[in-house]
Amino acid sequence: MVPGSLIYRNNHKNYGNDISPQLHSHIPANHPRAESLLIRNMLVDGYKRGLVVSEGLIAHGRGEAFDYLLGEKTSNIAHIAIEAASSALMLARYPVISVNGNIAALCAKTVVELSHWIGARIEVNLFYRTLRRERIIKRELKCFGAKEILGMSLKSTAVIPELQSERRRVDPSGIMKADTVLVPLEDGDRTEALVKMGKTVVAIDLNPMSRTARSANITIVDNAIRALPKMIMTVKKLRGLKQEQREEIMKRIVKEFDNPKNLLESLSVMRENLA
């Protein structure tokens, strides 16, 4: 039982089926950092296929370093945030998952599966936006069973106030309408702007000191490739609760979650690993 967790019971590694075995082939299984190298290969593969941009590769490297400090596993602290995040998304009236290139390359299948379980829309949102990239990412998500992909350029006619880049453009039927937005790998500006618009923002960010981590309502300090399958498991467990208790328990989980405290505790985990 994870300390502080209301429903979590197991902690085994689970990457869903997002990791393709064929990408695994040339990494020796006994390599001390085989998993990290495998994920890196998936991203480089996503780069070659046009989902990921060069800046996304650099961002991934930053994540790798913070994940290394986390011991490359989901901490108990992150499990608590995962429970709060899952509850918030299940309680949402209109949840939306925002997908960028790195997430599409690493977690397309899990994102689609999670969207089914929580009844969320999926919206593509790119900092480096091109019609070609949008199309490739849309195809990737559809390939894993997504019905509808929001956020395509022609339909992204709404604008997030205060933002300057292409990321300000959002879909009126997606993020603009959402009450709760899951932003795995988001930049600080946009997270702040979404919070200012009154939305509940759930972020996944390996850097507990980032502006995204600090401004989101609920921040999961974990690798998205581990956190997303764990969110699905958590959602399934929450759905297994008796209906008359479920909403009350989920509301309590969200209410009791303290993001600044959780971030400080994740920092402590990193500090201990640096010792």
Binding site for a second copy (CB under 8 A): 40, 43-44, 47-48, 54-55, 57-66, 68, 207, 209, 267, 270-271, 274-275
Comparing CB distances to a second copy, the nearer of 63 and 229 is 63
Comparing CB distances to a second copy, the nearer of 236 and 271 is 271
Closest distance to a second copy from the beta carbon of 232 (Å): 27
Closest distance to a second copy from the beta carbon of 19 (Å): 17
Closest distance to a second copy from the beta carbon of 185 (Å): 12
| SS3 sequence of the chain | CCCCCCCCCCCCCCCCCCCCHHHHCCCCCCCCCHHHHHHHHHHHHHHHCCCCCHHHHHHHHHHHHHHHHCCCCCCHHHHHHHHHHHHHHHHCCCEEEEECHHHHHHHHHHHHHHHHHHCCEEEECCCCCCHHHHHHHHHHHHHCCCCCEECCHHHCCEECCCCCCHHHEECCCCCCCCCEEEEECCCHHHHHHHHHCCCEEEEECCCCCCHHHHHCCEEECCCHHHHHHHHHHHHHHHHHCCHHHHHHHHHHHHHHCCHHHHHHHHHHHHHHHCC
Closest distance to a second copy from the beta carbon of 252 (Å): 31
Per-residue tokens: 213: 């981590």
Closest distance to a second copy from the beta carbon of 208 (Å): 9
Comparing CB distances to a second copy, the nearer of 57 and 158 is 57
Q: Which of 169, 173, 109, 92 is closest to 144 using CA atoms?
A: 109
Comparing CB distances to a second copy, the nearer of 75 and 200 is 75
Closest distance to a second copy from the beta carbon of 140 (Å): 18
Closest distance to a second copy from the beta carbon of 272 (Å): 9
Comparing CB distances to a second copy, the nearer of 48 and 147 is 48
Phi, psi of 115 (to 5 degrees): -60, -35
Comparing CB distances to a second copy, the nearer of 48 and 236 is 48
